[in-house]
Every structure is written in C-alpha cells, then in structure tokens.
Amino acid sequence: MRTPPSRLVRTSALTRCGLALLTLCCLALTSAAAAQRHNGLSSPPTAPPQAKGGAGAPIVPVSTGMGALQFLAVNYGVPAPQSLTRQLEADDDRTRAAALSAIGSPPQYFVHGHIPFPHSIQLSFVDLGITDELDAVLTVELDQHLVSAILAPHGDSWSRIATLTYATTFTDPTTTPATFLNIVRSLMQHERYRAVYRTTTNATNGDFTENEAHLRILNGKAVILISFVSDARICNSIGKHAGCDLTRRWLQPDPADPTQHFLLISATGHLTPHEAADPLASAPDFQMSHLHTFSCQPYTYSDTTQRYEPTANNGPCPTTTTAPPLDHPEPPKPASPTPSH
C-alpha cells in the first residue's frame, strides 16, 4: 500500500528535525568537552571556588605598617654631610634654613625670623647599600619632630635619597634620637648594615603602640624592607578579661636557613588589674616575664618587591626560636595605669 504524500512530507520533516536536534546535542557535548581541555588555543577550565581558610587561604602579614613614622623617597642634591651639620648650627638664619630644607624638615620650621636651632644632631657613616662606599644618616632633633635624612655619595657629590620624620615633642623625655634610630647589621649580608626606626603612639590612658621599620639602600634607592607593630600594651577594665594585653614582636633569622629565611615572632601575654597597677609593670623584664604565647610567620626577601614577603601565614614556632634580639633598645614607657576602658 502506498504511503499518502501528506504522510511522507510529515515523516521527512520529523526526520530532519530529529537529525537537527541530534546535531545540536553533539555540538554541545563537544563544546563542553573542549572547555575542559586547555591546549593553548582554548580558554582554560573555570576553577572551582576555593575553600575559605586552610591551605588555600591567602597569605597575609600578621602585622604591617609604620605607625607614626613618615617615609619619603627623593633624589635631591645636598652638601656633604659634614657641611650640613655645620650649617644646621650656623648663626645665620638663611644658612640654617637651607640646611633644614636640605634634610627634608617639615615646612613649619621655615617661618621667617624664627628658624630654630636643632636640640641635637647625630651623624653616622655606615654601609647601608651594596657598594663599598659609606652612606650617611643625619638625624636632627627639633621642637616637634625627629628628622632623619638618608644621604648617599655619588663620586664627589651627595644626594638625599630619603627622609624619615616622626612627630614628637622635645619635651617628651621618652623619645630621643637613640630611641628613634638604631643601626644594626643586615640579616642577609652581615658585612652590611640596616637602619631600624621605631616610633610610639601613646594613648591618654597609658596604652601605647610601637611600630618598627627596617631600611636599606638597594640599587641607589632607600627601601623599607619590612614594617610591623613591635610592641603594644592595651588595657581595659571591663569583663573577665580586665587588665592589660601585651604584645612583643621581632624579626630574626630562621635557624634552618639563617641568611635567606627569617621569622617574624609574635609574643603575647596578659597582666591582671593588680599586676598592671604594680610600679614595676612598665619595666621591660616584668613585661617579658608575662609573655606566654608565641607564634611565628616565615619570611624571605623578594627581588621583585624589594621587601621581606611572608611565605606562609602566622603559625607555631620552630623549637629553636630565641629571645628578642639585643639590638632592641628599651625606651621608658608611660607608667602603667589602672586599667580603663
């Protein structure tokens, strides 16, 4: 029996539709499979969402920041360091003002008719860079600031490549050039040096936070290698945790590889309200004896950023970690108050 023409037309149409659907399905499957392969010509597969925390967590510094320290990198020709020290003490106001400007002093000291004399001047020649020439660090104590100029030689001339400024009044006996700047050996090159700057921010209730920054000269530029909160005391009088929380932090070589890897060690402790009111509570040894929890974050130097960069998050310390280095001077802290809000 012959199939009616109308049925043949319907059958052919259905067949063509089925083939088209089959072709689309095959193309979709092929595209999905290609999306999971990356041969350099197609886009890589979409990565699954990363789990929060654990081994996939981003690496972040346990502490960073320079606090009250202001750092400005420049390239400014100046007289020789010895000449600058003489000019800073000159009787002529214009000579003194020019010297203050050359080291990068704040503009408030250039008021006509009132160019101050420095309260103290400290000049050090030291190898902060990677050449055989000695650089200079000229630190001046003014009425409301400590100013430290980093000076680098270029043949017979000199240039200021950075200025570090700390706003602190001269009437505060706890801040001096000795508490502001400490020059110690480099961790990576023991025959070279680094400049370690420390500034403290004090609260009215006696709390304080000290920040630390390490500086070297690399490729002719002054570079802050690392900065962090190095000392802190935060007190309160509310709840079961009343008293003072203590934090101490320092950078030291990793015993496993002391010239290439380093540890930022964090030590924390707590003073009860009775201990915080003790007259000895502001003594460094007293505070050190109350540090009971220690953690470490590994660091290594990065040629790309020219800084120490963390290689893992903060965690347990190796069993060979040591006490804070002796290059950390202990400036007198405000007297320990009765814990407050």
Its pTM surpasses 0.95: no
The type of residue at 180 is F
- The answer to whether residue 126 is domain-embedded is yes
Q: What is the pLDDT of residue 121?
A: 97
- The answer to whether residue 25 is domain-embedded is no
- The answer to whether residue 293 is domain-embedded is yes
> Which of these, 187, 188, 181, lies nearest to 166 by C-alpha position?
181
User: What is d(CA 265, CA 230) in angstroms, rounded to the nearest whole number?
Assistant: 10
Find the domain containing 263 and state its range: 69-310
Q: What is the pLDDT of residue 321?
A: 59
Percent of the chain with pLDDT over 70: 77
- The answer to whether residue 4 is domain-embedded is no
**CB 11 within 8 Å of CB 19:** no
- The answer to whether residue 91 is domain-embedded is yes
Torsion of CA 285, 267, 331, 116, to 10 degrees: 180
**CB 321 within 8 Å of CB 252:** yes
282-316 confidence digits (pLDDT tens)? 888 888 899 999 999 999 999 999 999 999 999 99
User: What is d(CA 256, CA 321) in angstroms, rounded to the nearest whole number?
Assistant: 10
206: region left, alpha or beta (phi > 0 left; psi from -120 to 50 alpha): left
217-257 confidence digits (pLDDT tens)? 999 999 999 999 999 999 988 877 799 999 999 999 999 89
Mean of pLDDT values over 129-142 = 95
Which residues have C-beta within 8 Å of that of residue 179, sequence separation ≥ 6? 198, 200, 329, 331
pLDDT band at 55 (very low <50, low <70, confident <90, very high): low
| Cβ neighbours, 10 Å, residue 278 | 13
Domain tally, the chain = 1
Rounded to 5 degrees, φ, ψ at 276 are: -65, -30
90-121 confidence digits (pLDDT tens)? 999 999 999 999 999 999 998 877 899 999 99
User: What is d(CA 149, CA 139) in angstroms, rounded to the nearest whole number?
Assistant: 6
- The answer to whether residue 278 is domain-embedded is yes
209-228 confidence digits (pLDDT tens)? 999 999 999 999 999 999 99
- The answer to whether residue 295 is domain-embedded is yes
**CB 215 within 8 Å of CB 150:** yes
Q: What is the pLDDT of residue 205?
A: 83
> Which of these, 252, 188, 225, 212, lies nearest to 307 by C-alpha position?
225
pLDDT band at 51 (very low <50, low <70, confident <90, very high): very low
